[in-house]
Amino acid sequence: MIKEALRSILPDRTAFHLLATALGRAVQHGSLVVIDPWGQRHVFGPDDTPTASIRLTDPRIPGRILADPMLGVGEAYMDGTLVLEQGSLRDFLMMGASIASDLASPSQKPQRPNPVERARTNVAHHYDLSEELYRLFLDPDLQYSCAYFQDGDESLELAQAKKKRHIAAKLRLETGARVLDIGSGWGGLALELASRHGVEVDGLTLSQEQFKVATARVADGGLEPHVRFHLRDYRHETGVYDRIVSVGMFEHVGPTHYGEFFNIVHRLLAPDGLAVIHAIGRTGPPSGCDPWIEKYIFPGGYCPALSEVFTAIEPSGLRVTDVELLPLHYAETLRCWSERFRAHRARAAEIYDERFCRMWEFYLAACEAAFRGGNMTVFQIQLTRSIKASPPTRDYMIDEERRLLV
């Protein structure tokens, strides 16, 4: 509130002076050059060679950045009033991952309830974009979640295949098992589990576009009736399943519904069943949503602190039997997506427009910076109702992944 008030009453040059003072404290590594709206050059940081150089072309931008760093910088880049003079957007945002924490005041925005209709609208905002857009930067299987760079030098395609194999190993699949995929995306994981492991899969999505693509893929792969996709919220599911998997969906549940989510997983899971939840979270304490990401990319989205997740699991009756964190794997995934998007940027501009392309570039680069230099992570949590459902060591995961290499 104080910064919002300052933005409305401070003269533009005074706002830039305050911003420059903050940058002088915040830039501890590398060197950032800022050319102000009046053409003056300012250097921040200890290095002689600039890591990045930017030009601000609108006198109002310093006040907007002071009021909300991520929102102000993101909107200025989208509008073309923050121009990169030297270095890449990735270079600039990697610096920004450490700078933003110094400029921003820590706060936790109250989370609104996320009823089914609001959840459907939020999903449509992001996932009902053109299928062709996603095919420009994802792998052919349309995996839109953290890949698994087991060796560190895999192609994106191989790393995504390893991700599916890694999750399958944690699920301990048996032929004929009933599997529920909550947030089934474009269907790649469900198709993989059915075709390679002989299981029966029901996938849930709220995205019309993803449902259309996934359903067509079932027919193309000859997997009817082993894979079925449904336009259905997880809260409306009534079956009982031997295995439950959810990849990249928990971020859209909302904190006010975490307890409900895990209670439903418990209800849908067979007594000797097993579930794996894969989602983005944070290693620090609970915090507010990134305002730029919430406004432009994932409305209603929230990446929980691990403490929030475990607090919600505890009263559900589910047991946590394995936890793994994969932050740098997602950083690499985002780097690959960014490179592919840049390679096909001209086509993306034809599908949408230049401002959309700037928004998407900023989204991918900012998220990579958050995973590489901030406190964002990816967690995979294995859950059971019975302690006997999961072996006492992880050896079975390694053995299964090796078997799947054949």
* Residue 110: predicted pLDDT: 56
Segment (H or E) for 159: helix 156-171
CA 21 – CA 311 distance, rounded (Å): 40
Helix (H, G, I), strand (E, B) or coil at 79: helix
CB-based contacts of 261: which residues, under 8 Å, 6+ apart? 234, 250, 253, 312
CA neighbours closer than 13 Å in the CB half-sphere of residue 208: 8
200-205 vs 178-182, strand pairing mode: parallel
Contact 319, 339 (CB under 8 A): no
> Going residue by residue through the chain (406 aa), what tens digit of pLDDT does each one get?
445 544 454 568 899 999 999 999 988 888 999 999 999 999 999 988 888 999 999 999 999 999 899 899 999 999 999 999 999 999 999 887 666 655 555 455 556 788 899 999 999 999 999 999 999 999 999 999 999 999 999 999 999 999 999 999 999 999 999 999 999 999 999 999 999 999 999 999 999 999 999 999 999 999 999 999 999 999 999 999 999 999 999 999 999 999 999 999 999 999 999 999 999 999 989 988 889 999 999 999 999 999 999 999 999 999 999 999 999 999 999 999 999 999 999 999 999 999 999 999 999 999 999 999 889 999 999 999 998 899 989 999 889 888 887 6
pTM of the model: 0.93
- Lateral strand order in the sheet of 319-325: 227-231, 200-205, 178-182, 241-247, 269-282, 376-384, 319-325
Active site residue 303: no
At 52, list the tokens: 């990045």
Determine which one of 303, 336, 357, 367 is catalytic.
Answer: 367
